[in-house]
Amino acid sequence: MEPDSLPTELILTNSRQSLGRINLDWMPQPGNYLDVEGKTYAVLERHHHYQYTVGGYYLQKISLHVKTAQRPTEKSLVEGRWVIGDASCTFNARSELLRCAIHPEGPCEGCRFYEPID
């Protein structure tokens, strides 16, 4: 294991099935996308697992709760962070995980429910 890599367990959220363990050199946040063995997953939750030793606690591993997903093609920059979809629409959730309440799967382009923000 490389010195900067972190053991990570991937758990499929809907079935709670473990997809296996991988080593990551970055700390994925909810809303990030992860490619593993040719499949793309959206990170929904991240849990830290610590272990106590004589010197104190250290981060032993993390668990990522994921779901299969496609990387969104529509993104907007809102207050320094990327959100899914067209943030100029009233119904946009301004979230990294959910596009909108009315048409969550998208696309935003050509959506009949589009209403610009006043």
Query: What confidence tens digit (pLDDT) does each residue in 4-38 have?
Result: 788 999 999 888 898 999 998 888 888 888 889 98
Residue range 45-87, pLDDT digits in tens: 999 999 998 889 988 899 999 998 888 778 888 888 888 888 8
- Cβ distance 62 to 23 under 8 Å? no
**Regarding beta strands 56-68 and 39-53, do their DSSP bridges make them parallel or antiparallel, or are they unpaired?**
antiparallel
CA torsion sign, 73 to 76 to 77 to 83? negative
**What are the extents of the domains in the chain?**
6-68, 72-118
**Backbone dihedral angles phi then psi of residue 110, each to the nearest 5 degrees:** 80, 5
Percent of the chain whose pLDDT exceeds 70: 97
pTM over 0.85: no
Q: How far apart are CA 34 and CA 66, in angstroms?
A: 9
Is 40:70 a contact under the CB 8 Å cutoff? yes
